Copies of this chain bind each other. A is one copy, B any other.
Amino acid sequence: MKFTIQRDRLVQSVQDVMKAVTSRTTIPILTGIKIAATAEGVTLTGSDSDISIESFIPKEVAGDEIVEIRQTGAIVLQAKFFSEIVKKLPTDTVEIEVLGSLQTVIRSGKSEFNLNGLDAEEYPHLPQIEENNKFHIATDLLKAMIRQTHFAVSTSETRPILTGVNWKIENEELTCIATDSHRLALRKAKIETENHENYNVVIPGKSLNELSKIIDDSHELIDIVITENQILFKAKHLLFFSRLLEGNYPDTSRLIPNESKTEVTVNTKEFLQAIDRASLLAREGRNNVVKLSTFDEGTIEISSNTPEIGKVVEEIQSQSIDGEELKISFSAKYMMDALKAFEGTDIKVSFTGAMRPFVIRPLHDETILQLILPVRTY
């Protein structure tokens, strides 16, 4: 293998595939990045066996030569060193050449690295996925859907299925649901499918988090292919594979209350900042719980009391409070996570009494909701 490549392109691709590489792997070759040069360009691959990322650098983009292939071939280089090296090379182009016995030379200006490579033949093959059942979604919408749900997955391995996000596709609509059994995040969107098939899968929260770090905020469509145990995201020059979680995701639809006894409409940012301050003293304690009380004339009070440190009272003016008077306690962290998922200015919080889950929605938008279970404090 021997080729010359534009350094910036190489650095970007290496950074992308590095998202899948971990040093905590039991398969030594996965600490490396696979580099393969064909007549078409250079492909980099990184994998931790749960997630695999493949980034392709074409020979030419819009008449601009990116890679000059002298000899095709493949090698695996230690990801940690290779990524550091390419970042720090002195000139705009890099030459990479595999000599005999896996020795790989990286040249740039008057800098020459000689790395011990690993045999690319021993690198695991990426899953073969038949692309019959594709659907499409705009990249920025996908990113938003991940951001608005993945934070609510469980971090505990007690029920492994809850560490994933449930993706359901029915009637050309994608619904993403995450819950750790104390709160739930749900986001829906219309998508384009090729064959109206239905799916119900669970994607590891960590995979979606890494994916959202790589994809950009563009309107370009990303292709998604689901198989029995894998999901593949196909963007331009980028393949992102994740395994799916095995098992049945709980039916969460009956958790969401249909009625409410108190409805509060409030500015998202003011509400978020008041809760942030009200929880400042409570964070130290065991619970990080704040109390919300409604008063006449649309006044809401958020408070917390940590006797050894002090207490906080925050008052905010809501747009409206309808229904019964209410006192309720909940986790400030869950509330802040939920509020950060909303993009609009105003939200409606629907309560069904102090002991029942409550639901937060934007004012005129049915595609997103956040549900939180209250905490019993009195």
Given A273-B88, A277-B111: A116 and B81 within 8 A (CB)? no
Cβ–Cβ < 8 Å partners of A364 in chain B: none
Complex CA distance for A88 and B332, rounded to whole angstroms: 15
A311 closest partner in B (C-beta): B114
CB distance from A90 to the nearest CB of B (A): 7
Per-residue contact bits, chain A 296-336, to B (CB 8 Å; 1 contact, 0 not): 00000000000011111111100000000000000000000
Tell me if A114 and B312 are in contact (CB < 8 A). Answer: yes
CB distance from A81 to the nearest CB of B (A): 6
Complex CA distance for A314 and B112, rounded to whole angstroms: 6
CB distance from A115 to the nearest CB of B (A): 4
Instruction: Kindly state whether residue A214 has any CB partner on chain B within 8 Å.
Output: no
Tell me if B115 and A84 are in contact (CB < 8 A). Answer: no
Tell me if A309 and B111 are in contact (CB < 8 A). Answer: no
Per-residue contact bits, chain A 81-94, to B (CB 8 Å; 1 contact, 0 not): 10011001110000
Cβ–Cβ < 8 Å partners of A78 in chain B: 309
Copy tally for this chain in the complex stands at 2
Tell me if B277 and A81 are in contact (CB < 8 A). Answer: no
Q: Which of A90-130 contact B (CB under 8 A)?
A: 90, 110-116
Given A110-B314, A110-B315, A315-B110: A81 and B274 within 8 A (CB)? no
CB distance from A271 to the nearest CB of B (A): 12
Which residues of A are at the interface with B, using a C-beta cutoff of 8 A?
A: 78, 81, 84-85, 88-90, 110-116, 273-274, 276-277, 280-281, 308-316
CB distance from A187 to the nearest CB of B (A): 29
CB distance from A266 to the nearest CB of B (A): 13
6 contacts between A and B (CB under 8 A): A81-B280, A85-B280, A113-B312, A114-B313, A115-B281, A116-B308
Cβ–Cβ < 8 Å partners of A280 in chain B: 81, 84-85, 88, 113
CB distance from A297 to the nearest CB of B (A): 14
Tell me if B81 and A310 are in contact (CB < 8 A). Answer: yes
Tell me if A115 and B310 are in contact (CB < 8 A). Answer: yes
Complex CA distance for A85 and B316, rounded to whole angstroms: 17
Cβ–Cβ < 8 Å partners of A84 in chain B: 280
Complex CA distance for A313 and B113, rounded to whole angstroms: 6
Given A85-B280, A110-B316: A309 and B116 within 8 A (CB)? yes
Known: A84-B280, A110-B316. 7 other contacts (CB 8 A): A81-B280, A81-B309, A88-B280, A110-B315, A113-B277, A113-B311, A116-B310
Tell me if B89 and A277 are in contact (CB < 8 A). Answer: yes
Cβ–Cβ < 8 Å partners of A313 in chain B: 111-112, 114
Complex CA distance for A308 and B118, rounded to whole angstroms: 12
Complex CA distance for A274 and B113, rounded to whole angstroms: 12
Complex CA distance for A313 and B316, rounded to whole angstroms: 65
A108 closest partner in B (C-beta): B277
Tell me if A114 and B310 are in contact (CB < 8 A). Answer: yes
Complex CA distance for A78 and B78, rounded to whole angstroms: 48
CB distance from A307 to the nearest CB of B (A): 8
Question: Pick the contact of A90 from B90, B273, B281 — CB < 8 Å?
Answer: B273
